[in-house]
Amino acid sequence: MDVPVSLAARQIACSGCALQPLCDATDPVPRGLPAVDARRRLTRGEVLFEEGSPQVAVYAVRAGFLKSCASAPGGALHVLRFLLPGDAAGLEGFGARRHASRAVALDDCEVCEISLRRAQVLCDSFDGVAAHMRALLAGQLAQAQAHGAALATLTASQRVAAFLMEMSARWGERGYSAHAFRLPMDRREMADHLGLTIETVSRILSDFRDRGWAIISGRAVAILDPAALRHCPPLAS
């Protein structure tokens, strides 16, 4: 009924968390390390960390959803990625010690906060943790590059189709249905992620519905024809 309960119901198991090695890899806890990390509750619209702010921790989404945004030159805002339960955030700060993006809660959510000191000590103490960190960073790098390539080469319909399939896959990975799910973001956030306008996104979703490829009613999505969406032709309007 109250927020904590509903959050608990939606929360992911720690075994599926990207930062799990930084939580419990510490059986032999190194000297004086904070044994347990802070959990933070966020409500819709609340900011986890601000663009340009000093990096003091890395984060893992435990329940709920967030978006990661960057302000492009010109004032426009771009949504870099959407964070689902189990995802890690704030890693890009390892470079300049400052966050290059802003993380905002899409709804009520809970994140685990691993202080930078703890992360550093664990990386230095356990080779496996450091390697895991590299793997995470490399994975996000590859993903960011793929997203850039998609923005540069795909048409509007292809981008929307690819986005639906990506969300579908991410739900599938987490053990939920890949065919029917709810989108955690509104049209504006979707559009800002895909480099389109809300009108275009809306039109394309309607088009997919008319073709019988997918049904999107508000935030509810049902994938009917994955193959069609995957091979979505350049000209689909």
The C-alpha torsion from 25 through 31 and 32 to 37, rounded to 10°, is -10
Residue 10 interacts with a copy of itself (CB under 8 A): yes or no = no
Distance of CA 230 to the CA centre of its chain: 21
Site string for DNA, 174-213 (x = CB under 7 A): ------------xxx------xxxxxxxxx-xx-------
Cβ contacts of 198 within 8 Å, gap of 6 or more? 187, 188, 190, 191
Looking at residue 213, its amino acid is: W
- Among a copy of itself, DNA, none, the one that 123 touches (CB under a kind-dependent 5 to 8 A) is a copy of itself
Strands across the sheet containing 38-42? 38-42, 109-115, 57-63, 88-89
- Smallest distance from a copy of itself to CB 8, Å: 31
Q: Judged by CB under 8 A, which stretch of 3-11, 23-31, 93-101, 103-111 contacts a copy of itself? A: 93-101
Question: For the chain, first and last CA: distance in Å?
Answer: 44
Q: Which structure tokens are listed for 232?
A: 């979505």
Contact code string over 53-72 relative to a copy of itself, x by CB under 8 A:
-----------------x-x
Interface residues toward DNA, by CB under 7 A = 155-157, 186-188, 195-203, 205-206, 216-219, 235, 237
Interface residues toward a copy of itself, by CB under 8 A = 70, 72-74, 76-78, 80, 91-96, 100-101, 120, 123-124, 127, 130-131, 133-142, 144-154, 158, 162, 192, 194-195, 230, 234
